[in-house]
Amino acid sequence: MSMIEAIRDAHDVMMARDENVVVFGEDAGYFGGVFRCTEGLQQKYGKHRAFDAPISESGIVGAAIGMATYGLRPCVEIQFADYVYPAYDQIVSEAARIRHRSNGEFTCPMVVRMPVGGGIFGGQTHSQSVEAIFTHVVGLKVVMPSNPRDAKGLLIASIEDPDPVIFLEPKRIYNGPFDGHHERPVVPWSKHEDGQVKTGYYKTELGKAAIAREGREVTILTYGTMVHVALAAAEETGVDAEIIDLRTLLPLDQEAIEASVNKTGRCIVVHEATRTSGFGAELCALVQRHCFYALEAPIIRVTGYDTPYPHVNEWDYFPSPERVGEAMKQILEA
């Protein structure tokens, strides 16, 4: 399966298992979503369980919060992550607070799905990486898969979770993994081992990282599209890098991070989002606090630039295998 197909399959599996699961969003019903992640669900389950919403992100999320607190399990789609800001107050002030504010009397089992990052020449309003604004919020879980197999398992786990989950989907790898050099996937997911997705029900535990590549010289902490960029950098440089695919940013698998950095003694953090106050800063602080005596060199960050997201020059904005490779060279020389 492609990541699009895996996400669609996760919806299908959960809607068949639980009649309380509903799916809606902008063009998410009849049309099946702008990226077709919900295609065919309305035809299969009816308009009362897969339906379109007005162009009102605060209304979409506000309605989902009400549904979730009264027993349904809504999985809503925000068409692009760039559009989520009108709903931010609902997510932070309501969804994330309900369990604690009600002393556990109410919970909010909802998922907010949204495509993130660049890769379609969408410019400033269709390309943002928004993970840092959600990982700061107590009461949320934040997920970003790097492949179809994890996407399906993590989405099923998110739908079953009793608390609100922000599910971020890197649109650049919807149809296949990138090596960081090409504007199209190197191979389709159907020819990649991570595209071999099991049919039926399974879930991938939230809060558990995966080792995308084992190594002993340097640890690279990353997630989403950048997992594939880091893999390409390791292959091209020949550096024996261990690449940790975080998968879930909140809660974070601190045990896996510490084990890897304590083994390698060096750490590079890679993400597509802008550098200042990005999630990489939190990772650096965690590694410095818990792995300080194992470090052989300062931690390095390779990130997007602190600029508005470019349109025609987006491939110059992305962290590339060359930039990651140069960071590995620097950290090994240090």
Which neighbouring-strand residues pair with 23? 50, 75
Fold for the domain defined by 3-195: Rossmann fold (3.40.50)
Query: What amino acid positions are annotated as catalytic residues?
Result: 126
How far, rounded to the nearest angstrom, does the alpha carbon of residue 47 sit from its chain's CA centroid? 28
| Residue ranges covered by each domain of the chain | 3-195, 210-333
Provide the phi-psi class of 26: left if phi over 0, else alpha when psi is between -120 and 50, else beta: beta
Spatial contact of 277 and 132, defined as CB atoms under 8 Å apart: yes
Alpha carbons 281 and 306: distance in angstroms, whole number: 14
**Side chain identity at 122, as an amino acid letter?**
G
Cα 75 from Cα 36, distance rounded (Å): 15
Are 68 and 108 contacting, i.e. CB atoms less than 8 angstroms apart? yes
Spatial CA neighbour of 217 closest among 325, 102, 72: 325
Strands 141-143 and 248-250: antiparallel
Q: CB of 53 within 8 A of CB of 28?
A: yes
- Tokens 């909010």 label which residue? 108
Q: What is the pLDDT along the chain (334 residues), one digit of tens a residue?
A: 999 999 999 999 999 999 999 999 999 999 999 999 999 999 999 999 999 999 999 999 999 999 999 999 999 999 999 999 999 999 999 999 999 999 999 999 999 999 999 887 777 888 899 999 999 999 999 999 999 999 999 999 999 999 999 999 999 999 999 877 777 788 889 989 999 999 999 999 999 999 999 999 999 999 999 999 999 999 999 999 999 999 999 999 999 999 999 999 999 999 999 999 999 999 999 999 999 999 999 999 999 999 887 777 888 888 999 999 999 999 999 8
Which of 223, 221, 227, 231 has its CA nearest to residue 286? 221
Residue 101 to residues 67, 232, 285, Cα–Cα distance (Å):
17, 46, 30
Partners of 21 in the beta sheet?
A: 73
Collapsing DSSP to helix, strand or coil, 152 comes out as: helix
What is the chain's Cα-based Rg? 19
The reported pLDDT for the residue numbered 124 is 80
Q: Do domains 3-195 and 210-333 have the same CATH topology?
A: yes
Q: How many CB atoms lie within 10 A of CB 155?
A: 29
Sign for the pseudo-dihedral over CA of 246, 249, 255, 260 = positive
Instruction: Indicate yes or no: pTM above 0.85.
Output: yes
Helix (H, G, I), strand (E, B) or coil at 301: strand
CB 90 within 8 A of CB 134: no
Q: What is the token pair recorded at 288? A: 């410095």
- Contact (Cβ atoms closer than 8 angstroms) between residue 244 and residue 221: yes
pLDDT attached to residue 5: 97
Q: Are 269 and 299 in contact (CB under 8 A)?
A: yes
- Looking at residue 196, its amino acid is Q
CATH architecture assignment, domain 210-333: 3-Layer(aba) Sandwich (3.40)
Distance CA 292, CA 285 (A): 10
What whole-number distance in Å separates Cα of residue 59 and Cα of residue 289?
A: 41
